[in-house]
Amino acid sequence: MSRFLIHRALIALLVAITVSIIGFTLLRLSGDLASALAGDTATQEQIAQTAHLYGLDRPLSIQYFDWVWKALHGDLGRSLFTNEPVTYLIGQRIGVTAQLSVMALTFALLIAIPLGVVAATRPNSWIDRFSLGLAVLGQGMPNFWFGLILIIVFGVSLRWLPISGTDHFSNFIMPTITLGTSVMPAIMRLTRTGMLDALDSDYIRTARAKGLSTRSVLFKHALRNAILPVVSLTAVSLGFLLGGSVIVESVFALNGIGFLAFQSILRTDFPVVQSIVVFVSFCYILLTLVSDMINAYLDPRIRLG
Amino acid sequence: MSQRQEVLQVEGLSVAIDTPGGTLRAVSDVDLHVGRGETLCIVGESGCGKTITSLGIMGLLPRRARLSVKRLELEGRDLARLSGKERAALRGDRMAMIFQDPMTSLNPVYTIGNQMEEIYVRHGKGNQKQARERAEYLLHKVGISAATSRLGQYPHQLSGGLRQRAMVAMTLMCDPTLIIADEPTTALDVTIQAQILHLLDDLQRELHMALILITHDLGVVARMADRVVVMYAGQVVETGTAEEIFAAPRHPYTRGLLDCIPIPGKTRPGAPLGSIPGIVPSLLGPLESCQFRNRCPQAFADCAKAPVPLRETSPGRADRCLLPLGAPAQPRRASEALGAAE
Amino acid sequence: MTSIERDRVIISSPAPTYEIEIEAPSPRMIMRRRALTHPGFLFGATVVLATVIIALCAPLLTPYDPYAQDLSQRLIPPVWAAKGSWAHLLGTDAMGRDYLTRLMYGARISLTIGFGAAALAGIIGTSLGLIGGYFGGWVDSVVMYCVNVKLALPGILVALSLIEVFGGSVFSVTLILGVLFWDRFIVVTRSVTQQTRVADYVTAAEAVGASRFRIILGEVLPNVLNHIIVIASLEMAVAILVEAALSFLGLGIRPPTPSWGLMISEGRNFMFFQPYLVAVPGIAILVLVVAINMLGDGIRDITAPEGRN
């Protein structure tokens, strides 16, 4: 198993390096970052000054390696807009995004897994159709729109929940529901399919032949097998939530790294943008590695070869 | 009643399966019985209903299937009236089943020991420690050396033969009176097949459980069976002891099966083996005639007119044919059969 | 009729001969029968078709110009509300433009971008998947490496950055989205190709000396086609959702073009008193995306090989 994991880790490293290069080049694809920063009315001289000021007149590869070298020492540069260190900016806001993502994922799991299990044990019943309908709805709904609807209904008409801000836990309820409904359908469907396959299998027939209780058959035997791909999907979904929270953060005015990235893109604040893109990617890569490890641990066929 | 203690009594077992195309007569009106220390073989080709019959006896039919039965008794206990929970309490305890493919029949994420011990504990036979001891004892008994380390291993770490031995050991955990083995050797190599059959034979000699062996392989029947039930298209077409079936088959289907295999002493070397042309009829819709007639070398007009009843010629010997092979005097007519039914 | 094959089985000696006729419907008939009784497929196909027709015939269906502003007609609610009128069935927006008209023209944007992005992603993804799946070895490793890199990148942030750089026209948005969604195509195409590759008929083709290119196009691609269509429909739905989100954020389609996402964004300022400005385009997106998803699922169910319960 350790050879398997080392192999995965090496690939992850290669992917991480590639991602850092891509993140680095994203905003520079416009051709001339300096003139974008200097503004429309700048003269040639002002543009050249801007370029020199931000080190943009050096060859691209030098800029990249310089950035990587500094990053490895904890220096991600400074925001062009606020001049604060990027590490500080990210550190300030990562809490909000992380909290939102974890809450959204938990919310999704609490609905998706029980619903998926029940739907699989009663195929074609009303609850099966209901859960599939919910999945279809969840996958079809634009989540920014859903957030706005929630605000209209619960924030304004009913006045149950606060509309914006981050100080209170209740601020996170509507964003969590909004973000959670975007990942819930896939997890529910995977659980349901996995359970259906497991319940159809020979080893479940054996378990029933042994006279085991329904609870034991469902949870000890079937779910334990069905859950393996769901674990991977969950880890991957967390990575996706970290990167995709920008929309929900904008709708609910939450001060997370997604919203910061969005603002920075608008301002061509490239140190911030490249750092956040690379940071989120690295989180994703790390999460997939973790999910590989968990998978290897949970499945003895992988663990013991 | 019978002199010898019958472990299992089945009368009139039928299974209907609802499909989009109609109702399937998977099993029609099956009777069978097994006693202590006796081996009953159910023989037939794929799809003849032998597996469904066994699942019906165990109470493991899929959701879409409907069971109806006149009599279903295990050690005198009426199974038909029991609730699902009560049935489950008997499964694994008083009656156990071995399946065809040991690789897929064992849960890949739990150890062999775990899967064996849970039966013991679930049926209240003892605690975890006692279960472990019994599991180790049984693994040893089925011929698995290094039983202690095997208990901690996972199914994929064992070879096919070892897995099936472990499954046999698993069924013995609670010392059941009835074991149903559904094609236990089909998925294994030929040499391993012989070992498993030998093992089952030895265990039966020692423990006296009733054994129902389901197979399509007449070689297995010859080796293991005390009595035989031949099934075709969901019906029992012939019953008898192994000697009777092999020496003097009554039903043309049984005759056809025997013609397909070389029998030492009987088949001439160099002679071509027989075959049964045609295919199994559809099982949809009500029973209207003999199910074998369109493959039968001696079918005649009456075979198509009405269903053929199972006629018992002597205790334990029956056949479902209007023109049984080797029968004395006149052939039975369908009208006569109908008259007898009324 | 002629598409049903009748097999005749003759049972020979020693018994008298019988003829048994077996009817086996052709695959196309099976599919047609399934398609006509599959509620999800029917619903999806109907809605998508209706949307396409509305989008194409928009100028014929409405007298209004989606860009014509009339400030005297601002913020009229839909016909079912108290102050609504039949002149504007879905009311008007803050600039006095007829909402139903904007909705109809917006369908063009959604369908174009959705279809275009899915098609582009499909071409890229399927090609890479075929190549990786067929050749295996280091070629395959490179393909999987590309997929892993793509998956690691946060799609929305990359899309936002690229649009910031390249601008928000229908063309550039389609291109950018198309370049971001090919991973599912690759994964499925690759796996189907791997399975098909070891099939006997491919080995036969190779033995006869058929060129690789011909084998890939002639033998492997037809098998993959069903899967591609299903995935294309699902990715089209995703593309429509992402375009709406990007336009909503302001980094997608630029005003005054009537993208549904943009309409929601423009309606946001007024949403507390005129919620229909936000609700209506959102429902339109929801219905279209759900329909496309159901269509895709339906196609998958219909073209699934026999043997599925």
Interface test with A, best of B83, B109, B180 (most A CBs within 10 A): B109
ipTM score of the complex? 0.86
Averaged pLDDT score across all residues of chain B: 86
Mutate to test the interface with A, among C110, C145, C157 (most CBs of A within 10 A): C157
B329 and A CB contact within 8 Å:
no
Higher pLDDT, C167 or A157: C167
Angstrom CA distances, C217 to B244, C135, C227, stand at 62, 14, 15
Instruction: Report the pLDDT averaged over residues A245-261.
Output: 89
Count of B-C CB contacts under 8 Å: 19
Looking at residue B228, what is its pLDDT? 94
Would you give the distance in Å from CA A114 to the centre of its chain?
22
Tokens describing residue B326: 């080797």
Is A265's Cβ below 8 Å from some Cβ in C? Answer: yes
Q: What is the pLDDT of residue B328?
A: 58
- Distance, in Å, from the CA atom of A75 to the CA atom of A87, rounded to the nearest integer, reads 7
List CB contacts (< 8 A) between B119 and chain A.
210-212
List of chain C residues whose C-beta atoms are within 8 Å of the C-beta of residue A288: 152
- Cβ pair B297:C18 closer than 8 A: no
A140 to C164: CB separation less than 8 angstroms, yes or no: no
Considering only CB atoms, A201 lies closest to which of B104, B154, B156, namely B104
Cβ contact, residue pair A140, C289, below 8 Å = yes
Residue A294 CA to residue B248 CA, distance in Å, equals: 62
CB spacing of C149 vs A277 below 8 angstroms? no
What are the chain C neighbours of B298 within 8 Å (beta carbons)?
Answer: 15
Greater confidence (A160 vs A191) lies with A191
Terminal CA-to-CA distance of chain B, rounded, Å?
A: 25
- Chain A: nearest CA to B267, how far in angstroms? 39
Residue B191 has pLDDT above 90, yes or no: no
- On chain A, the residues whose CB falls within 8 A of the CB of B92 are 209-212
Q: What is the mean pLDDT of residues A197-211?
A: 91
Contact C15/B296 with Cβ under 8 angstroms? yes
Structure tokens at C177: 């989205």
Whether the predicted pLDDT of B303 surpasses 50: yes
Nearest chain C Cα distance for residue A240, angstroms: 7
- Residues in chain A closer than 8 A to C279 (CB atoms): 149
- What pLDDT does C7 receive? 41
Q: What is residue B172's predicted lDDT score, i.e. its pLDDT?
A: 93
Which carries the bigger pLDDT value, residue A285 or residue A78? A285
Instruction: Provide the β-strand partners of residue B236.
Output: B231
Check A265 against C156: CB less than 8 A apart.
no
User: Looking at the complex, does the CB of residue C305 fall below 8 Å from at least one CB of chain B?
Assistant: no
Of C156, C165, C272, the CB nearest to A29: C165
Query: How far is the C-alpha of C186 from the C-alpha of C178, rounded, in Å?
Result: 13
B99 and A CB contact within 8 Å: yes
**Measured between CB atoms, does C9 come within 8 Å of chain B?**
yes
Contact between chains at B104 and A203 (C-beta distance less than 8 A): yes
B279: chain C residues, CB-CB within 8 Å: 9, 20
B60/A211 Cβ within 8 A: no
Chain B CB contacts of A210 under 8 Å are 91-92, 96, 118-119, 122, 170
Rounded Cα distance between B92 and B114, Å, is: 15
pLDDT tens sequence across A22-37? 888 887 776 677 777 7
Which residues of chain B have a CB within 8 Å of the CB of C12? 277
In this predicted structure, what is the pLDDT of residue C25?
Answer: 65
> Which residue type is seen at B33?
H
| Subunits with 3+ C-beta pairs closer than 8 A to A | B, C
Is the pLDDT at A47 greater than 50? The verdict is: yes
Closest CA to A111 of A168, A21, A183, A55: A183
Which chain A residues have a beta carbon less than 8 Å from that of B94? Answer: none
Interchain contact C137–B (C-beta under 8 A): no
B299 contacts on C by Cβ (under 8 Å): 15
**What pLDDT score was predicted for residue B280?**
80
Q: Report how far Cα A234 is from the mean position of its chain's Cα atoms.
A: 10
* Residue B321 predicted with pLDDT over 90: no
Does B296 sit within 8 Å of C20, measured CB to CB? Answer: no
For residue C174, CA distances in Å to A141, B183, C124 come to 20, 59, 14
CB pairs under 8 A between A and B: 76
Residue B170 at interface with chain A, using a CB cutoff of 8 Å? yes
Specify the amino acid at residue B249: P
Residue A9: CB atoms within 10 Å: 14
B277 with C11: Cβ contact below 8 A? yes
Task: Give the tens place of pLDDT for each residue, B77-103.
Answer: 888 888 888 889 999 899 999 998 888
Among chain B residues, the shortest Cα distance to A300 is held by B109
B35-87 residue pLDDT tens: 999 999 999 888 888 999 999 999 998 888 899 999 999 988 888 888 888 88
Q: What is the pLDDT of residue C29?
A: 75
* Candidate from C165, C268, C271 with C-beta closest to A27: C165
Report CB contact under 8 Å: A203, B157.
no
Q: Which of the other chains make 3 or more beta carbon contacts under 8 angstroms with chain C?
A: A, B
Query: Phi-psi region for residue B227, left (φ > 0), alpha (ψ -120 to 50) or beta?
Result: beta
Residue A201 contacts B, CB cutoff 8 Å: yes
Chains with ≥3 Cβ pairs under 8 A against B?
A, C
Contacts of A273 in chain C (CB under 8 A): 157, 161
- pLDDT tens-digit map of B128-178: 999 999 999 999 999 898 888 999 999 999 988 899 999 999 999 999 999
The answer to whether A137 contacts chain C (CB < 8 Å) is yes
Residue B13 Cα distances to A76, B52, B72, angstroms: 77, 10, 8
* Mean pLDDT to the nearest integer, A118-139: 90
Count residue pairs from A and C with Cβ separation < 8 A: 140
- For residue C19, what pLDDT is reported? 43
DSSP string, B51-106: HHHHHHHHT---TTEEEE-SEEEETTEESTT--HHHHHHHBTTTEEEE-S-HHHHS
Interface test with C, best of A265, A273, A285 (most C CBs within 10 A): A265
**For residue B105, pLDDT beyond 60:** yes
| C46: DSSP letter | H
* pLDDT at C309 (0 to 100): 34
Q: Which of C29, C33, C30 is nearest to C2 (CA)?
A: C29
Assess whether pLDDT exceeds 90 at residue A269. Answer: no
| Per-residue confidence (pLDDT) for residue C112, from 0 to 100 | 93
Cα nearest neighbour of B99 on chain A? A206
**What pairs with residue B39 in β-bridges?**
B211
Tens-digit pLDDT profile for chain C (309 aa)?
222 333 433 333 334 434 444 556 676 777 777 777 888 888 999 999 999 999 988 888 888 888 888 888 788 888 777 777 777 788 888 888 888 888 999 999 999 999 999 999 999 999 898 888 888 888 888 898 999 899 899 888 999 989 888 888 889 999 999 998 898 899 888 888 887 777 767 777 777 777 766 766 777 777 788 888 888 998 999 999 999 999 999 888 888 888 999 999 988 888 888 888 888 999 999 999 999 999 988 888 887 654 333
The reported pTM is 0.82
Contact A202, B102 (CB under 8 A): no
Q: Is C20 in Cβ contact with B277 (below 8 Å)? A: no
The stretch B269-293 carries a mean pLDDT of 81
Shortest alpha-carbon distance between residue B290 and chain C (Å) = 15
Check if C12 contacts B (Cβ < 8 Å).
Answer: yes
Percent of chain A with pLDDT over 90: 26
Contacting residues of A for B54, CB less than 8 Å apart = none
